[in-house]
Structure 1
């Protein structure tokens, strides 16, 4: 990943995009793809699409823009914010964390309260996120309501940290890395004969809603959905849920269920031909990514989940290897250039 590509990733990671409030990240993404696009599109909910026109099959690479977070659901008379989780928020991770409330008039810093160990009788590991509160330092409810409002999104703070080699840590890798791949793969594939779509969807974390909107509108011949996947290559990882996926070994082609076999085989073939490192994982029933929704759009769109290895998913210290991102962008670009060899993407019966 060169300095320009890394700067783009950092800009994405700096833009808050809780589900339903993705506009800041979408603006960064659109600015990046615009020079390589023949057309840019957005819809009423904020899904973003870049188009590179060609004479061959229409192939899309998609990443979702939204991240998990919190939403202010009540402001009490003492000035504390009571919040609800935006999808799969880990209650053990949010306690004692710094947060930012994204209010209409600007950002408001706060903390998720955690009773000091000295004065609590026991750790309540069963306390849900909805039982936690955000303290913005307000003197009372009126003072708090002057700064924030019910429905304001909240993100957990955290810095992007360079670890050893090409590995980095921080919050929101899920799914800024997918957004990055969609943009950078599109830029690499500008010379393909295929029509290439880059897509940045909204509201994946709360039901893959944006993919349903975009999939119906575009109706492409094939979709690669770039999203994070679990890298469990660390001590104490749950072995019964594990796989051989590891950081730095390349993007992960998913086989089974939603994942179209012809498309999955095409990606594996392109990886071998182009010398791109790639891994394989199985999805026996579903992927829980936008690939599931793209696959059932209209009368069905051949789709594959391309996973990016990620340690400690849905925490403020998600770890990825930027070499895997680069390899994923290269893989899609190679696939786009050879798409006519594999189209139409249909199972042979």
Structure 2
């Protein structure tokens, strides 16, 4: 087994990739960074009309295997501007209204970035008997204007995307902290797998399609489109899942998953037993420790988009434990990231050695 370990170049790519904005529906800038990084390690790059990017190794093969992640991050949209210039919002993906008050934001306009904040009434002005919790109906953005005309003159209009400016950092050497780790950490992982294949001169017997999909956060849309285009035989999806050892999470419902204990192999109707068992056998034979998670009906990831497309695609899911999903301080453990790269890489080698079909 070749043990994968992140080096300084890998960290620089991850930081640059995470810090760039890629809100659902406008993932172009983040996708550019990913494409630029993966280009030396693939034979061909293709994109579709909505921005999903694919790096291909051995593109002439008729047997096609996908490893996939998604690039889009949750965000907000300008929904209404009051006469006083206060901005109300709607969700673009599963943005959490409870974390919004006091957060800095950036509004993306044709004139450039407009900075602002999610305001909230001071504690002194709120009556305990009338205490209100933040929700999507009452959170609001203040960009420091006096009226609606000033906001419009700055380029702000209904439909502008709003993102958080929070940046990547490493906590106590082991944890990566950032917004958009869901699921740019997956995009990082599959790019590193492609890099390992080329650096180790692996001669694949199948076509490998490294897919970075768009619009996962609003219904797996990019994966649905690209699956129709590629028509793969196998899809191995990587995404994040909840660290259930964090406070206020019921393990009896959410499962028992912890950061630092390895990648999570999923069980669900959309996950094909043959592919899952091959991944598990690979992990066991290569001594890659892992965790297991059950999803009773669906995984909530792009796995369903591939599994149930075309005439059916043999699909599996490998997830990375994540703390504080859909916040600006999402956290993953460095060791989990490294082990997931190793597991996907070794699984591809196992499939290559036996040219796994069906």
Q: TM-score range by the shorter chain?
A: over 0.9
Equivalent residue, structure 1, for 2:84? 78
Residues 181-233 of structure 1: CA deviation (Å, up to 9, x unaligned) = 12112222332413211101010000000000111111112111111000111
Number of residue equivalences: 344
**Structure 2 residue corresponding to 1:284, chosen from 286, 296, 303:** 296
1:23-34 equivalences in 2 (<5 Å)? 23-34=28-39
Change in Cα spacing, 1:228 to 1:192, as seen in structure 2 (3 Å) is farther
- Answer yes or no: is the 8 Å Cα contact 2:227–2:306 preserved in 1: yes
Q: 2 CA distance for matches of 1:99 and 1:161?
A: 18
**Structure 1 residue corresponding to 2:346, chosen from 293, 318, 334:** 334
Equivalent residue, structure 1, for 2:357? 344
Equivalent residue, structure 1, for 2:170? 162
Equivalent residue, structure 2, for 1:89? 95
- Unpaired runs of at least 5, structure 1: none
For residue 56 of structure 1, report the CA deviation from its aligned partner.
8.2
Relative to the length of structure 1, the TM-score reads 0.94
Residue 144 (structure 2) pairs with residue 144 (structure 1)? no
**Structure 2 residue corresponding to 1:307, chosen from 319, 327, 330:** 319
Relative to the length of structure 2, the TM-score reads 0.92
**Structure 2 residue corresponding to 1:103, chosen from 109, 129, 144:** 109
Greater mean deviation of Cα atoms: 85-94 or 111-120: 85-94
Greater mean deviation of Cα atoms: 336-345 or 129-138: 336-345
- Unpaired runs of at least 5, structure 2: 1-5
Residue 248 (structure 2) pairs with residue 243 (structure 1)? no
Equivalent residue, structure 2, for 1:64? 70
Q: 1 CA distance for matches of 2:175 and 2:62?
A: 37
**Structure 2 residue corresponding to 1:42, chosen from 44, 47, 50:** 47
Equivalent residue, structure 2, for 1:2? 7
Q: 2 CA distance for matches of 1:60 and 1:344?
A: 14
Equivalent residue, structure 2, for 1:201? 213
Residue 248 (structure 2) pairs with residue 252 (structure 1)? no
Residue 307 (structure 2) pairs with residue 295 (structure 1)? yes
For residue 63 of structure 1, report the CA deviation from its aligned partner.
0.6
Residue 233 (structure 2) pairs with residue 221 (structure 1)? yes
Equivalent residue, structure 2, for 1:21? 26
Greater mean deviation of Cα atoms: 133-142 or 208-217: 133-142
Residues 270-326 of structure 1: CA deviation (Å, up to 9, x unaligned) = 112222222111122100100011101101111112111001111111110122112
Q: 2 CA distance for matches of 1:270 and 1:116?
A: 55
Superposed CA RMSD in Å reads: 1.6
Equivalent residue, structure 2, for 1:12? 17
**Structure 1 residue corresponding to 2:182, chosen from 169, 174, 183:** 174
- Answer yes or no: is the 8 Å Cα contact 2:18–2:167 preserved in 1: no
Residues 70-121 of structure 1: CA deviation (Å, up to 9, x unaligned) = 0011222211221101122222111121111111222111101111011011
